[in-house]
Structure 1
């Protein structure tokens, strides 16, 4: 294992501590922050919010983008806009970050877990279809769970570590079963499936700009959609439901204080200017890792077929859980931060009673996947 530690330190040009993923502020961040501060518009109104939304929508190929305070808020609102209500059910994957299930739970809906594919680590269309055909029926244009008799309103696949799942197949299945497709694209800015950016296949999608994401404003998120009505509603309910007026305070519904502050948007505008450089660096790093691990009897996770991945977090697949645990312990003790993939959501106390399909692949990956240092190299 020392050979691996030495190699990672070599490619990051240091013998010191190496984090898993640290942000890079190498452009106009300080300039735009100072400009924002000087303007005094540091809250949810300001030119940087508007500029970022326009630039982000253009980049991913969506008609509208609505900036939010974080990715979880973006997904929460996306599910509300998909008409998910209390006691509805939402199909998702067990191999995901907790935010996916938290957003579902905020509404009072309940997740259902189907398996992932080994090659994408994202939702398996085969497992999704198998669950629907064996457990559901269409009644009054709704997908009804025959076990619980509840409506399955939405499906939330996640593009794991930036690797696109088989989103086109999932979309076709959702349309057949009258289920709204909401993409959790939190990790996949800069990733494409069949030359189409992730987050633009479903009715609505959410991205994240947390401190460890490929671009960041410390926090931040964004909702994207091609639906003008949904976009206007998203902006309204993320801004406390306030009716526009020069001075009156009138709110027409219970809503949320989820808008991204202008000072954070200033950071994101600067970060977007370097996004292509970040992506190039990450793909170069993936190539270096792939070549190295091919000689180490360790599988490097490469982008799936028909995809171009942002390689947000680089990952390797160890041969056994024991080998994974030894790798994690040794690397972290020697100043190279590595992390396991998430514990399966259905194994957490909050979701252990949720309905599942067979989760064979998800369990296999949970026991073997490790993330290795993935920062943009300078």
Structure 2
């Protein structure tokens, strides 16, 4: 981290305003806003309306899945109605069930832990590393050595007696976690890896897209994501049998037949409607432009904060390509309470003028429903959570910059 002194809050605020432009309480600037300008979104949605194919069947669903495969390199993509459902279905597919434990980081949106709990399983929190903010391989290895026993073909937490069923790393803010090392640990200990890549469409570690290191990964297309379908999510996998099972269970486990209703398992009605898929296709066609614009946003924030002591941007991990979904500022004061106080001061000042900055999520193990869950030492996650702040990161921020004089 950079120098430990706390920055002048007004200087930080002025730096942000140099990038985002003017705002007010009446015209606020949010973190990441949807934008359908310059796309074929209206034409594609109108096609759904004109044809009558507006629900979970239709050509746009198939086309959206094909486009996701083309962009990510996945052999299979299965689109569903939101990112939490994608996570729940993915965990179910690899065998997570009631009474199992799933290893995951505490620094994530609540949906990561909720998807585990929805299956009757128990989150087991393991610390993060400060660079990518993702699940720390060294912390995971140490935790497994401390609590895990192999009993015949089952990996068990000797402290709780519960089966350790999977690990669920998260690619935070679009930055790839150290998932190659995590996959090695999963292979060594014999449990599946499911990736929460909700924020990481078009993020890569080396030559592999996030979500494709383990058995299955998931994406989100919520309203604040790089690509939004209003709601929506997807499973990515290279496992053909798993993809086939995902499609079956996400469509009520119904066997195809012209009129008979034959269901062979307890399934869910999870599939994404054709209307939403049409929106997704229109934005995927615009993906490269959005990624280029977001890179410009990151570069301009970096320019602004390069000489300002007490803050730094959370950077792109080495040998990775991040989609830079949310640009994150880190207060670097040695004492996390001092950093937290400066962050609160900036939040209050920014919100008073319509600049809707956000702190990182409350760590999951500090939420009331997850306080009693098993956990290792979480010092890094708690330290980082006290000093992180998300900045406006919409690609459309670059519009009109050519008229500004504060950047060359």
CA contact (8 A) 1:117 1:123 kept: yes
The 5 A counterparts of 1:30-45 are 30-45=42-57
CA contact (8 A) 1:174 1:180 kept: yes
CA contact (8 A) 1:142 1:151 kept: yes
- Equivalent position to 2:62, from 50, 60, 64: 50
| Structure-1 separation of matches of 2:77 and 2:145 | 35
- Equivalent position to 1:313, from 326, 348, 367: 326
Residue in 1 that maps onto 2:343: 324
Q: Does 1:358 align with 2:377?
A: yes
* Aligned pairs, number: 378
CA contact (8 A) 1:88 1:150 kept: yes
The 5 A counterparts of 1:156-171 are 156-171=168-183
Residue in 2 that maps onto 1:302: 315
Once the two structures are TM-superposed, the CA of residue 9 in structure 1 deviates from its matched residue by: 3.5
- The secondary structure found in structure 2 opposite 1:180 is coil
User: RMSD between aligned alpha carbons?
Assistant: 1.1
CA contact (8 A) 1:5 1:336 kept: no
CA contact (8 A) 1:9 1:18 kept: no
Residue in 1 that maps onto 2:149: 137
Residue in 1 that maps onto 2:216: 204
Residue in 2 that maps onto 1:28: 40
| Structure-1 separation of matches of 2:169 and 2:315 | 19
Deviations 1:277-335 (A, max 9, x none): 11111111111111211222211111111211100011000131111111111111111
Once the two structures are TM-superposed, the CA of residue 2 in structure 1 deviates from its matched residue by: 3.8
The 5 A counterparts of 1:208-219 are 208-219=220-231
- Report which stretch shifted further, 42-51 or 239-248: 239-248
Residue in 1 that maps onto 2:394: 375
Displaced runs of 4 or more, over 6 A? none
Residue in 1 that maps onto 2:406: none
**TM-score normalized with structure 2 length:** 0.91
CA contact (8 A) 2:13 2:346 kept: no
Q: Does 1:97 align with 2:109?
A: yes
- Equivalent position to 1:264, from 276, 281, 284: 276
Q: Which runs of 5+ in 1 are unaligned?
A: none
Q: Which runs of 5+ in 2 are unaligned?
A: 1-8, 334-338, 400-408
- The secondary structure found in structure 2 opposite 1:90 is strand
- The secondary structure found in structure 2 opposite 1:316 is strand
Once the two structures are TM-superposed, the CA of residue 11 in structure 1 deviates from its matched residue by: 2.8
Residue in 1 that maps onto 2:404: none
